[in-house]
Chains A and B, each alone.
Chain A
């Protein structure tokens, strides 16, 4: 029977960091640092940097998670917490597919580090429905056919809910302007505007 293995990916990454640190130290730094590297202090530092415990409220549930400081909120949601409703489109704040709410305000989750949002209330598309009952915006998107391929839809809906809450729905022009941060390559825009208009009424 095979021995229970530690996460091999994690191990190899840490080994890599340790080796890189030693190599870099050899190249540019005085002997004290080199000594530190040999005494495994770099390894310890890398570990401290790699995983930090943070507490977040996600869709009404307080959760304690370990995050590496470099992880975006989007990647935490999708890769660590399995909340894949929030989509990664461009990963550079240009498409809006990753739109979520932080403390009730819509933001691009790809452009913030998870660690920066410690203690905040996060709402994703998964947190919108009330049990089996769809949020009115979700229902309106279905009714008005506000999607085609559906990839941008979670971001569109999260943005649309905020757009209504903010009161930027006085006419079609205003809705389009305040939904401009969410791109739809299928071009479902007219139906998205109709869905938002219905919910805003």
Chain B
């Protein structure tokens, strides 16, 4: 690990200022992904700004919905009454991720910013355009069983690993970010990027910007929702495919539908076409089957991950049917 200067500011403005003042600065909070990357010299900051003690961990209901501080711990969010009662999809997704120990350390902001778990990104002997732009993509022609089936490019086939983000994408959350100069609010769907020719950029966050909170708008999905995750073992593994579904239903007619997938793309993947199809349809198995088929219509599998296409379709269907059984 490269030598760094450690800073621990106690207010947000100081953290932003420290970042601006010091070349090669990096924020650290829960550390569960970043410290791993630092041990492997994949990330090597000169200045480490420990933001874990900034007062950014409250969970509060407001007129627009619930606002969760960026430093709220995953376990605290998953167990918070507002979340379990009004946004249970979020709690479900959080508890499907990582382990209790990691959820006690990992923050909401860090979860959103975590890097891919593509093995070629972590193996510094291998080419990876995300880690080292221009070096090539080892996964594209290599071992790509875990890689993307949607939205990949010649440069990168990595997937975003978060479970929480799949639920946040489905629920149209917004992300509030601050820099030394300004504050801005970003729609969740616009925050993460597809790889294109610049896979080194996971998201649209600019240098020095800090996520301060997320807001999840009020919704009518508390009754009909589900998060289903398929992985290589029963628990504590990254998703092969995960699905967040949420419905608003009145008299067996679907008024609103949300479908998002994890483990299939460089960003949490919303299935807008399938959502649109379901609006106005009856909540029948046939509607769900047709929607599930639409979800994977544009899938483009690689050498080793064609199974994910069928798996995504089946998981969408199973996640929907499980709500009613």
Closest to A100 in B: B101
Contact with A along B18-38 (1 / 0, CB 8 A): 000000000010011001100
Q: Which residues of A contact B28 (CB under 8 A)?
A: 116
Closest to A177 in B: B235
A-B CB pair tally, cutoff 8 Å: 79
Most buried by A among B4, B35, B39, B98: B35
| Cross-chain contact B101 with A49 (CB below 8 angstroms) | no
A105 CA to B99 CA in the complex, in Å?
13
| Cross-chain contact B235 with A116 (CB below 8 angstroms) | no
Most buried by A among B48, B101, B105: B101
Checking A91, A116, A159 against B52 with a beta-carbon cut-off of 8 angstroms, the contacting residue is: A116
Contact with B along A132-173 (1 / 0, CB 8 A): 000000000000000000000000000100110010100000
Tell me if B200 counts as interface (CB < 8 A to partner A): no
Shortest beta-carbon distance, A67 to chain B, in Å? 10
Tell me if A88 counts as interface (CB < 8 A to partner B): no
Shortest beta-carbon distance, B42 to chain A, in Å? 12
Which residues of A (66-101) have their CB < 8 Å from a CB of B? 69-70, 72, 91-93, 96, 99
| Cross-chain contact A96 with B31 (CB below 8 angstroms) | no
| Cross-chain contact A115 with B6 (CB below 8 angstroms) | yes
A162 CA to B99 CA in the complex, in Å?
13
Shortest beta-carbon distance, B201 to chain A, in Å? 25
Q: Which residues of B contact A113 (CB under 8 A)?
A: 6, 31, 35
Q: Which residues of A contact B50 (CB under 8 A)?
A: 115-116
Checking B4, B102, B236 against A108 with a beta-carbon cut-off of 8 angstroms, the contacting residue is: B102
Checking B4, B98, B100 against A159 with a beta-carbon cut-off of 8 angstroms, the contacting residue is: B100
Tell me if B290 counts as interface (CB < 8 A to partner A): no
A96 CA to B236 CA in the complex, in Å?
11
| Cross-chain contact A108 with B5 (CB below 8 angstroms) | no
Tell me if B104 counts as interface (CB < 8 A to partner A): yes
Closest to B28 in A: A116
Shortest beta-carbon distance, A100 to chain B, in Å? 9
Checking A46, A106, A168, A180 against B104 with a beta-carbon cut-off of 8 angstroms, the contacting residue is: A106
Tell me if A107 counts as interface (CB < 8 A to partner B): yes
Checking A91, A116, A177, A181 against B101 with a beta-carbon cut-off of 8 angstroms, the contacting residue is: A181
Given contacts A69-B48, A116-B50, whether A181 and B36 have CB atoms under 8 Å apart is: no
| Cross-chain contact B35 with A112 (CB below 8 angstroms) | yes
Closest to B40 in A: A92
Shortest beta-carbon distance, B309 to chain A, in Å? 28
Q: Which residues of A contact B323 (CB under 8 A)?
A: none
User: What are 10 pairs between A and B in contact, CB < 8 Å?
Assistant: A17-B3, A49-B3, A72-B35, A91-B39, A116-B28, A116-B50, A159-B100, A159-B101, A181-B100, A181-B236
Give the 4 A-B residue pairs with the shortest CB-CB distance, closest first: A181-B99, A180-B235, A180-B236, A69-B6
Which residues on B are within 8 Å of A, measured CB to CB?
1, 3-6, 8, 28, 31-32, 35-36, 39, 48, 50, 52, 75, 98-102, 104-105, 234-236
Give 20 new A-B contacts, CB below 8 A, not counting A96-B99, A105-B75, A162-B100: A17-B3, A49-B4, A69-B4, A69-B6, A70-B3, A93-B36, A93-B101, A106-B104, A111-B35, A111-B105, A113-B6, A115-B50, A116-B8, A116-B31, A159-B100, A180-B99, A180-B235, A181-B98, A181-B101, A181-B102
